[in-house]
Amino acid sequence: MPTLTIEYQTDAERLVPEQAIAYVQGLNQLARTAAHGTVLAACEQLALTDGRQLLRDTLGTALQTRIDATDAAPKKSPATAARAGTPGGS
């Protein structure tokens, strides 16, 4: 069986490829086992449910990463922001 090496910086990044592989494996399993004449409909339904959930999960992870980075960033006082010319500092 082929292997793949992936470099990641966070556990959230590590989970995304694992979830994507599990999703594709589920689609393949369903395609192999669905009754004749129902394969496309069954796979489309799985794509709509599990695929949508995968997208939600990765979007949620990206947003949480941004929130965490924003929370970790040093806060500037309004006076400091005004001197730096950044928005919200006037």
CA distance 43 to 12: 27
Reported confidence tier of residue 81, pLDDT bands at 50, 70, 90: low
Residue 90 lies in a domain: no
Residue 77 lies in a domain: no
Q: What is the pLDDT of residue 87?
A: 63
Number of C-alpha atoms within 13 angstroms, CB side, residue 13? 6
Residue 43 lies in a domain: yes
pTM of the model as a whole: 0.70
pLDDT in tens, 43-58: 999 999 999 999 999 9
31 versus 4: which is more confidently predicted?
31
Residue 4 lies in a domain: no
Residue 7 lies in a domain: no
Average pLDDT for the chain: 88
Range of the domain at 49: 35-66
pLDDT at 86 over 70: no
Residue 12 lies in a domain: no
Q: Which two tokens stand for residue 89?
A: 């500092």
Number of domains in the chain: 1
